[in-house]
Structure 1
Amino acid sequence: MAQTRIAPPAARPEGQWAFDQREPLNGNEKFKQDDDGLNVRHRIETIYSREGFASIPGEDLRGRMRWWGLYTQRKPGIDGGKTATLEPHELDDEYFMLRVRCDGGALSLQQLRTIAEISTEFGRTTADITDRQNIQLHWIRIEDVPEIWRRLEAVGLSTQEACGDTPRVILGSPVAGVAADEIIDGTPAVREIAERYIGDPAFSNLPRKFKTAISGSPHQDVAHEINDVAFVGVVHPELGPGFDLWVGGALSTNPKLGVRLGAFVSLDRVPEVWTGVVGIFRDYGYRRLRTRARLKFLVADWGAELFREVLEGEYLGYSLPDGPEPPPPPTGRRDHVGVHPQNDGNFYVGAAPVVGRVSGPLLSQLADLIEAAGSDRLRLTVEQKLVVLDVAPDKVDTLVDGLEEAGLAVRTASTFRRGTLACTGIEFCKLAIVETKARAKALVGELEERLPTFDQPITINLNGCPNSCARIQTADIGLKGALAGGEDGYQVHLGGGLGLTSGLGKTLRGLRVPAHELPDYIERVATKFDEQRTEGELFAQWVHRADEEDLR
């Protein structure tokens, strides 16, 4: 097939390698060109872990160490008003956040126990399940990192490219391979990409981070609309089950939903199509400004048709068949919380920690419960929840009772516990302005007391800064950290959603809710929705027809 050639833009260079624009145009591009981020591991093992925190130069400390899942965490006692005024070294604590990548959200019993032990021994028992299916630990000392890596890698886990300008963790359906209603199991593609390409120097210097989602669930349970590349399960009328290809989704301060390329991808071709999309990003992606270095900006400039032409002509060497659009997901929740039948006569059991906050001891307790239930498989979800697979019918009730006693709600999970997300927040994050985790946990408890009979699905996402790690623009109620009258507060986004209500929420002009008024505000809006909703109407649908005074 004929290759599509893109003419270089006439405007100022964007640092696109495809046009031989290789001169670094910012400090991040300079340090990546000077030395690949993957190479920092040797220095961590042989120098920094032996000589201590003070021996780490800035380009490794705040740059390359991300390629191995390490970020310095925020120094305690620095309030949100100083976040944007202090120099990086003034914000750095001498401890690290360590992100353990769990591709497809999958963990074995042995892997879970290992993470629990590391959390307890090295991380002051911290552990968070993120909305990217990772587990994050805190209070990690540089001296302990080589031993932590040794333990993780002994059980098949890694922190490699969990952060940095790299292909981050590959999202997968938490119930891949077991759900009774699954269209296609994407697990083989998740595994092949992770095994073949994570750590490959060919993809270790991208313009910025690159996020992947692969799910054959009809519930569309991996937030495919906000990933750089996503493979969404569909059934082709002639070719059978496969995937619909999406590109260019991402949030942050300039949110864009992904676009369909109209191309059908069979399971066996997912890895090579993935490499093609990553290759386009590497070669044509913008590297001049970090704020424009995500794939979403290239997709917006090119459009879906041209992007597909370049993918097929320059990177694949063949045309992909046209394919059908994914049907809307079923109504109801897609967090997999509760007890559900598998396709083999067993059950999977989904449980809801509050906003993903767990701990080393709790993970150890969870491992004991999973083992007693005869299972060896745990999955993490993009909703900061967890799912235990392969539970025999006669083990379900005992497992559920144990999870409930441990504080991991299954049958008793309220709509607020199921639907509330929170990012790391000012407790550990150097970009944050306000507290999130503890505040979200308190908010859930308060709403459960005030609205005990409210049972409509609703998502409440709290983010400590504008960068939207907690997906504020695609929540029913998105709360973006801001200072309000000198105290912690939140700017409100309403009516966003994924799946049935896929779209970006609207900002209520001038509305900033002080932290102490959050329960009052959400109670007021949720009550208005409950009073005014029509049969089957979802919160986001109501928001877009409601009077603005009812949203304030």
Structure 2
Amino acid sequence: MSTPASRHHKRPRGEGQWALGYREPLNKNEELKKNDDGLNVRQRIIDIYSKRGFDSIDPADLRGRMRWYGLYTQRRPGIDGGKTAILEPEELDDRYFMMRVRIDGGQLDLRQLRTIAGISKDYARGTADLTDRHNVQVHWVEIESVPDIWERLEAVGLSTTEACGDVPRTILGCPVAGIDVEEVFDATSEIDAIKPYIGDPAFSNLPRKYKTALSGCSAHCTVHEINDIAFVGVVNEQGEQGYDLWVGGGLSTNPMLAQRLGVFVRRDQVGEVWAGVTGIFRDYGYRRLRSRARLKFLVNDWGAEKFRQVLETEYLAEPLPDGPAPQAPDVGRRDHVGVFPQKDGNFYVGFAPRVGRLDADKLFAIADIAERHGSSRVRTTLEQKMIILDIAPDQVDSLVAELEAIDLQVRPSTFRRQTMACTGIEYCKLAMIETKGLASDLIDELEKRLPTFDQPLTINVNGCPNSCARIQTADIGLKGQLMLDENGQQVGGFQIHLGGALGVGSGFGRKVRGLKTTAKALPDYVERVVTNFDTQKKEGESFADWVQRADDADLK
């Protein structure tokens, strides 16, 4: 007969943590990775799939390991959003791929930019989208073309390695590192210290995707609060440059803000500390359920104190000293759009494509405009924007005029500047509604209806609940869903999050009960809530602050 104590002390169910002895795969994804490292698919693509065609691809490679090289099958055209969660993967798959080009720190020279443009033109029907993690995505790529695309990219120092998959994704950095007058310091060398770990089999089988941010930007443009691991530039009491370490941030369907560990990481320690935190995720991360496999769940369960203890005692050669918190940013926008002075007396010029959408011709044009004005460097941002560096003072006006002549606005409206959109149903197999065109049309409508509105206001449009467009941290976050309109017809629409913010007062958007809108009625809704804010706001009050005190009726 069991005692009450024995009944209440059952062995806890394992979360699939390797460090605790749970090595047997607990789901299909873990089984796939145990059977073969995702990095090994590269040679099969080169030797077999590109020669024999789409039908020769092993399904485990097609929907799994090919992500380790930035390749996803795109959505077959003509499948409506109501079928997204119903159809099997092979029914949703098209015979073409989205390819993501990895651009660590957003750093590109003109040769690299023209290479991407050429790939877009020759192999991707001219498509090119800027993401909110520095990358460029192209579509309509055929498997037969992939080896040649890789050769072109690698010849100029670019790659697609680990741009997707359960691996360390693109390293976020400040796009104006080294030139920004206001930066704490230039963190480029520390990004370079992490790069050797990319493609290393020691970190090519993580429980889920793993996102890194690292910068000395005083505006905190790398959104460290929502990354798995983030190094934020600080200067300690001794005047030494280093980093404040944050872990466990992430959005999607269960958003969490990163936690400070309170340590000071010297600049020469970044590679070791990055490997240590990543090793904890690999060894202690949850592998039983995909929905709980991000680092944020482990950090949430352990807490910052235990995480620091395990890092220092099991993964580092020595403990880390306590360190200062970063200074709060004093800017309303973190995107580097506009004309700004550099340390060397030149200027950088940030401009806003519509919701990150470009094409091959525009990419070539950007390279040509930059070159004509004496620049050899461009940058991609975390807000689906671009920057041209190193413009002499007497060249700025001409550069701005040429960019704006091809609808690349340097002094855009708030709505053009701060509206982001994910890929949407046009190409994404997870999406339920269209996003890019809808968001572009919304910008046009708001510019007509609210021509004098100039306050910072982020509008982030997502085609599904996964928050690729960071809906929970936007002033107006729009989560795509299917809903019934006033006639009882199923249409695309959005659940609305209001008042999310990063930086001072970081927090997730407020959900008002029943607050949603059809896609058709979206411009009317945004006009109404922005007008309410504009008429009710106090001196210096942000949209997020107003949302916290506004009546529900003013938010609907």
Common topology (TM > 0.5): yes
Deviation of the 1:331 alpha carbon: 2.9
Match of 1:233 in 2: 233
Match of 2:371 in 1: 371
What is the percent sequence identity of the aligned residues? 66
Q: Give, as a single letter, the amino acid of the residue that structure 1 aligns with 2:452.
A: T
Distance, in Å, in 2 between the alignment partners of 1:500 and 1:527 is 24
Match of 1:466 in 2: 465
- Deviation digits for residues 430-472 of structure 1, max 9, x if unmatched? 0000110010000011100100000000000000000000000
Q: Give, as a single letter, the amino acid of the residue that structure 1 aligns with 2:448.
A: E
Alignment partner of 1:278 is 2:282: no
Deviation of the 1:522 alpha carbon: 0.4
Distance, in Å, in 2 between the alignment partners of 1:25 and 1:186 is 39
* Structure 1 counterpart SS, 2:41: helix
Match of 2:523 in 1: 519
Deviation of the 1:11 alpha carbon: 1.1
Match of 1:52 in 2: 53
Match of 1:132 in 2: 133
Distance, in Å, in 2 between the alignment partners of 1:501 and 1:492 is 20
Q: Give, as a single letter, the amino acid of the residue that structure 2 aligns with 1:438.
A: G
Q: What does residue range 121-200 of structure 1 map to in structure 2 within 5 Å?
A: 121-194=122-195, 196-200=196-200
Asked whether the 8 Å contact 2:193–2:270 carries over to 1, the reply is: no
Match of 1:342 in 2: 342
Deviation of the 1:131 alpha carbon: 0.2
Asked whether the 8 Å contact 1:331–1:500 carries over to 2, the reply is: no
Distance, in Å, in 1 between the alignment partners of 2:390 and 2:407 is 21
* Structure 1 counterpart SS, 2:94: strand
Distance, in Å, in 2 between the alignment partners of 1:172 and 1:376 is 19
- TM-score (norm. length: structure 1): 0.97
Distance, in Å, in 2 between the alignment partners of 1:17 and 1:57 is 27
Q: Give, as a single letter, the amino acid of the residue that structure 1 aligns with 2:233.
A: G
Distance, in Å, in 2 between the alignment partners of 1:501 and 1:322 is 23
* Structure 2 counterpart SS, 1:119: helix
Alignment partner of 1:302 is 2:275: no
Runs of 4+ in 1 over 2 A off after TM superposition: none
Match of 2:394 in 1: 394
Q: What does residue range 101-500 of structure 1 map to in structure 2 within 5 Å?
A: 101-194=102-195, 196-411=196-411, 413-485=412-484, 486-500=490-504
Distance, in Å, in 2 between the alignment partners of 1:431 and 1:519 is 24
Distance, in Å, in 1 between the alignment partners of 2:503 and 2:464 is 25
Distance, in Å, in 2 between the alignment partners of 1:376 and 1:271 is 29
- Deviation digits for residues 195-220 of structure 1, max 9, x if unmatched? x1000000000000000000101100
Q: Give, as a single letter, the amino acid of the residue that structure 1 aligns with 2:347.
A: F
Deviation of the 1:239 alpha carbon: 4.2
- Deviation digits for residues 265-284 of structure 1, max 9, x if unmatched? 12111111111000000000
* Structure 2 counterpart SS, 1:308: helix
Match of 1:6 in 2: none
Match of 1:92 in 2: 93
- Deviation digits for residues 312-340 of structure 1, max 9, x if unmatched? 11101211111111121013222111100
- Could you say what the CA RMSD is over the residues aligned between the two structures, in angstroms? 0.9
Q: Give, as a single letter, the amino acid of the residue that structure 2 aligns with 1:531.
A: T
Match of 1:4 in 2: none
Distance, in Å, in 1 between the alignment partners of 2:207 and 2:12 is 19
Asked whether the 8 Å contact 1:49–1:143 carries over to 2, the reply is: yes
Q: Give, as a single letter, the amino acid of the residue that structure 1 aligns with 2:499.
A: G
Aligned length: 542
Asked whether the 8 Å contact 1:493–1:506 carries over to 2, the reply is: yes
Structure 2 runs not aligned, ≥5 long: 1-9, 485-489
Distance, in Å, in 2 between the alignment partners of 1:235 and 1:541 is 30
Match of 2:7 in 1: none
Distance, in Å, in 2 between the alignment partners of 1:266 and 1:409 is 39
Between stretches 229-238 and 199-208, larger displacement belongs to 229-238
Asked whether the 8 Å contact 2:461–2:471 carries over to 1, the reply is: yes
Asked whether the 8 Å contact 1:100–1:159 carries over to 2, the reply is: yes
Structure 1 runs not aligned, ≥5 long: 1-8
Asked whether the 8 Å contact 1:484–1:512 carries over to 2, the reply is: no
Q: 2:550 aligns with which of 542, 546, 550?
A: 546
Distance, in Å, in 2 between the alignment partners of 1:207 and 1:502 is 27
Distance, in Å, in 2 between the alignment partners of 1:367 and 1:238 is 43
Distance, in Å, in 2 between the alignment partners of 1:417 and 1:179 is 24
